[in-house]
Chain A
Amino acid sequence: MKRVLLVLLAVAAMPAAAALKVFATVPEWAALAQEIGGDQVQVFTATTALQDPHRIDARPSLIARARSADLLLATGAELEIGWLPAVQRESGNSRIQSGQPGYFEAARHVAMLDIPPRLDRADGDVHAGGNPHIQTDPRNFLKVGQALAQRMKEIDPAHAAGYDSRWHGFSERWHASLLRWEKAAAPLKGVAVITQHKAWTYLFDWLGLREVGTLEPKPGVEPTVAHLAHVRDQAANSRPRMVIRAAYNSARPAEWLSAEAKLPIAVLPFTVGGTPEAKDLTTLFDDTVARLLKPLK
């Protein structure tokens, strides 16, 4: 037993492979790390776009991947609070513990919205730090990306030039894309919508959509028949143009309201991989804008 352990320890002590190992909790930060890191990084994504990033178990596979990671990329703002602390602790990896350079929280680098005026679980799934779904506003990628590029350079100074140049390239392309999306999405300004989960605050802040109702009575609380009926009755006054849900949300509540109130549904990718079209960060917003515009036609 002892000898086996010593041999295994010796294996563990061998120099890591050249690529920076990145453990991203959600697909959007994985995609961003790939843009900045290029072939100098090896990115693992803990969740897919079809999973609720809040309801994940600290699975053995996640602990195993976190064990060898050089950089842990999380959203923060309590999005991953149910499983990430357990994964960090169980991994035995000192580099990715909170407070270490290998732990990066995206939400720390953007201005948070929906910060609750009071913290009470009677209000549902409230996040003390504000709404954690910051990736729905593409402008946030510029802020997070800049900080991330800086962090990657810090952890992996040997490849700093590469991170710098790829970040600048991404930033330029992103600015151009922002112009394109904002132009295309101009008709969405002021449009009233109903959402399934309060997941789109940042998107609406960007494009000027108005949220006039939410299918979940409280964040994270499953829609009830009574509440759905209430939303339907409200819809008569507020005249929403569509119901919006994320790819990972259950389809039924939105379909019910859609049928009752004769409203089109926009299923948005929410993150990279949420729809077949959303293959990377650019196509994520190409598709989001296209799917929002479709019901207006």
Chain B
Amino acid sequence: MNRISISVLAACAALGSIPAMAADADLQALREEIAEMKKSYEQRINALEQRLADTTRQAESATVTAGQAQAAAQANRPAATASAFNPEISLILSGMYNNTSQDPRQDPTAAAGRERRIQGLLPAGGELNPEARAWNLGESELAISANIDPHFRGTFLAAISPANEIGVEEAHIQTIGLGNGLGVKAGRFFSGVGYANEQHPHAWDFSNAALPYQAFFGPQLGYDGVQLKWVAPTDLFVELGVELGRARGFPANDGERNKNGLMSGSAFAHVGGDVGVANSWRAGASFFASKPRDRTYDDVDSTNTLVTNAFSGRSNTTVLDFVWKWAPEGNARDGGFKFQSEWFRRHESGDLTYDTTAASLGTATDAFRATQTGLYAQGIWQFMPHWRAGYRYDQLSAANLSVGLVDNGTLTAADLPILQSFKPRRHTAMVDFSPSEFSRIRFQVARDQSWPGVNDNQVWVHYIMGLGAHGAHKF
């Protein structure tokens, strides 16, 4: 190719050196000649490129796997096999070693038999984290997704717990062809409220959820239902969404309900954008409403008996979230910083029933109201390629409570010890190393102060790795 161009250029140069006094006719002839040469040059380039393409193809047919790769690359050579329609499949593997100064399965403040939970609010239940001391397998997540047709996309994500139970984490369809900024999701999905709620545990920056998530959503809000989202046609990112359905887990208990019509619902708004080339941000406000009926929890009353209590009423949660990311020149490969913070407020009002099974002092019901807030703030600093360090601070406020059963003298505060006022706190620090986009090893330490007078010092060594389809770099 070079040889051709050089000879063409040499010819041009020679032609160009003809004395300027040449007649117009000569000039015309020259122009034609140059045009002719250019044409032939183009043809030769095309011929050479064709040869190159042919050679590449021949080289590939020598190997078995390359045939498929080539098919993906060349639009004019579609793959002939059904396997070309394989969906994106990925598998997340995770495991950890934990060292904790308190038993993660046992409440450090109460009589034996009560599960570990955060002091000062109605317990959210949910998964314990970590599940036990020393060696733990994390959840193995198998995800399969693909476009179903030009209108829909389907996603399925199963989590296999270390206890060999398979749970359907997500199983939803979503529209891709509606247009006008609209998107509908139906099935089982994680709610779009807040910032971290939609993230899967393998995408978290720390090995466990922040305290407010554990306390208010135990630790993630999911739905079996529908979500409608709309993105505004503006350069500033504005996204509005509503969700309706059977909320999964705390603070709803829709899973046990069987009725027509509405159950739980949420609405959220997110805005975001860039500041210069190096900074980007997102902020949001979300609201979740539910009407739990006979939502039970266990406690140990003043007679030291394990009793079951239940709440029925309204539960409303508000979440404000904010994320800021910075990277030099916006290039997150070599370094960067991420700040993330969320604030929660939950208001519940209704009736609290003590001892539903009449195991101790007898069943009693009266009005109950509680307002509680919580927040966390964290910073993750990527100080060199592949290495990050982070710190997170979590706290919950003492609840603003009004318990009719105690106010009217039926019970004493000692009969409902979990509700006794307390401000849980937690400090967490981590360093992680990611040799590639698909693997991460994290070292995390935490001081958990979720109970009066008790510190739980925790150490985690955690690996999280993903194989298969390339995951999305969500903001």
Of chain A, the residue at the smallest CB distance from B471 is A82
When the two chains form the complex, which single residue of A55, A109, A221 contacts B332, counting CB atoms closer than 8 Å? A55
Given A51-B331, A119-B65; A58-B472 close (CB under 8 Å):
yes
CB pair B73–A129 under 8 Å, yes or no, is yes
Q: How far is the CB of A184 from chain B (nearest CB, A)?
A: 10
CB pair B181–A57 under 8 Å, yes or no, is no
List B residues 72-89 near A (Cβ within 8 Å): 72-75
CB pair A115–B179 under 8 Å, yes or no, is no
Within 8 Å CB of A293, what residues of B?
Answer: none
Q: How far is the CB of B287 from chain A (nearest CB, A)?
A: 11
Within 8 Å CB of B72, what residues of A?
Answer: 128-129
Q: How far is the CB of A253 from chain B (nearest CB, A)?
A: 10
| Complex interface: stretch among B3-11, B298-306, B356-364 | B3-11
| Complex interface: stretch among A59-67, A150-158, A161-169, A259-267 | A59-67
Q: How far is the CB of A293 from chain B (nearest CB, A)?
A: 14
Is B447 among interface residues, defined by CB-CB distance under 8 A? no
CB pair B470–A12 under 8 Å, yes or no, is no
Q: How far is the CB of A172 from chain B (nearest CB, A)?
A: 9
Q: How does the 8 Å CB contact mask read for B304-337 relative to A, with 1 for contact and 0 for none?
A: 0000000000000000000001000111111000
The size class of the interface chain A forms with chain B is 35 or more
CB pair A108–B74 under 8 Å, yes or no, is yes
Q: What is the CA–CA distance of A173 and B234 in the complex, to the nearest angstrom?
A: 37
Within 8 Å CB of A220, what residues of B?
Answer: 436-437
| Complex interface: stretch among B157-165, B204-212, B236-244, B252-260 | B236-244
Within 8 Å CB of A68, what residues of B?
Answer: 233
Is A230 among interface residues, defined by CB-CB distance under 8 A? no
CB pair B231–A64 under 8 Å, yes or no, is yes
Q: How does the 8 Å CB contact mask read for A72-101 relative to B, with 1 for contact and 0 for none?
A: 000001100111011011111111011110
CB pair A48–B231 under 8 Å, yes or no, is no
Within 8 Å CB of A1, what residues of B?
Answer: 242, 267
CB pair B233–A11 under 8 Å, yes or no, is yes
Within 8 Å CB of A63, what residues of B?
Answer: 231, 237, 239
CB pair B334–A86 under 8 Å, yes or no, is no
Q: How does the 8 Å CB contact mask read for B126-155 relative to A, with 1 for contact and 0 for none?
A: 000000000000000000000100100100
Is B2 among interface residues, defined by CB-CB distance under 8 A? yes
Q: How does the 8 Å CB contact mask read for B274-299 relative to A, with 1 for contact and 0 for none?
A: 10010011100000000000000000
Of chain A, the residue at the smallest CB distance from B37 is A179
List A residues 1-21 near B (Cβ within 8 Å): 1, 5, 8-9, 11-13
Is B182 among interface residues, defined by CB-CB distance under 8 A? yes
CB pair A64–B237 under 8 Å, yes or no, is yes
Is A38 among interface residues, defined by CB-CB distance under 8 A? no
Is B230 among interface residues, defined by CB-CB distance under 8 A? yes
In this complex, which of A60, A65, A111 has the most chain B Cβ atoms within 10 angstroms of its Cβ?
A: A60
Q: What is the CA–CA distance of A121 and B471 in the complex, to the nearest angstrom?
A: 14
- 3 closest cross-chain pairs (CB), A and B: A60-B272, A60-B237, A94-B179
Given A57-B474, A111-B56: 8 more A-B contacts, CB < 8 Å: A5-B240, A48-B277, A52-B332, A64-B232, A65-B235, A128-B69, A175-B42, A208-B2
27 A–B pairs (Cβ distance < 8 Å), ordered by A: A5-B230, A5-B240, A47-B330, A52-B331, A55-B331, A59-B280, A60-B270, A61-B237, A64-B238, A85-B472, A89-B174, A92-B178, A92-B182, A92-B230, A95-B179, A97-B177, A98-B147, A107-B73, A119-B69, A121-B467, A130-B73, A139-B49, A182-B1, A182-B2, A207-B2, A248-B333, A250-B334
